[in-house]
Structures are given as structure tokens and as C-alpha cells.
């Protein structure tokens, strides 16, 4: 038996830390790390709820696998954008205005 308040608290903490990272960071790659944390909070919620419901479609775990794939695709494109940004501006500081 696992009491559900444990994973649910971890979901809240991960989402909060990710939100902090997205807003507080100035480096574009570090902002992406915050986005990854938020996505992982969603993943953990999917797995937890999937284990609780126990449906025949295994929705929780299958959707987690899909979300991991989507996150990998997202991070690939996002890092390509960050590199293009670095080539055109010379830095990836998001708080400075663009050229």
C-alpha cells in the first residue's frame, strides 16, 4: 500500500519548482529545464492515477510513454531554436531585448 498523498505532494512540488525555473531563469537552456520538470510532474500524476484507476486500457502508463516521446521531440526542436538564437545574437539571455 502506498498512501496517495506522497506522490501527489511530489507532483505539486515538481510543478512548483518547474514554474519557478521557467520564470526566474534568464538562460534559455535553464528555462527548458524548468519546462522538463513541469512535464515530469504531469508524468508522475499520470502514473499515479493510472495505478489507482486500474482501467483495462492502461491509460495512465501508455499516456506517460506518449508524453515522454513528445517531450523528447519538444526538447530537440527547442534546443535547435536556442542554438539558432545563439548564432544570431551571440548570447541566449532571455531578459535582454533582441537585435
Binders of other proteins among 63-82, rule CB under 8 A?
A: 64-66, 68-77, 79-82
Residue 95 in contact with other proteins, rule: CB under 8 A? yes
Tell me, what DSSP letter sits at residue 90?
A: S
Please give the size of the binding site for other proteins, defined by CB under 8 A: 73
Tell me, what DSSP letter sits at residue 96?
A: S
Q: Cβ distance 36 to 12 under 8 Å?
A: no
Query: Within 13 Å of residue 58, how many CA atoms lie on the same side as its CB?
Result: 5
Residue 67 Cβ vs other proteins, minimum distance, rounded to whole Å: 10
Residue 6 in contact with other proteins, rule: CB under 8 A? yes
Amino acid at each position: 500500500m502506498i498512501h496517495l498523498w506522497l506522490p501527489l505532494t511530489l507532483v505539486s512540488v515538481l510543478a512548483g519548482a518547474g514554474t519557478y525555473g521557467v520564470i526566474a531563469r534568464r538562460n534559455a537552456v535553464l528555462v527548458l529545464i524548468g519546462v522538463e520538470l513541469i512535464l515530469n510532474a504531469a508524468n508522475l500524476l499520470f502514473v499515479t492515477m493510472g495505478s489507482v484507476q486500474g482501467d483495462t486500457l492502461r491509460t495512465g502508463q501508455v499516456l506517460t510513454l506518449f508524453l515522454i516521446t513528445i517531450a523528447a521531440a519538444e526538447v530537440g526542436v527547442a534546443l535547435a531554436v536556442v542554438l539558432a538564437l545563439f548564432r544570431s545574437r551571440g548570447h541566449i539571455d532571455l531578459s535582454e531585448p533582441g537585435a
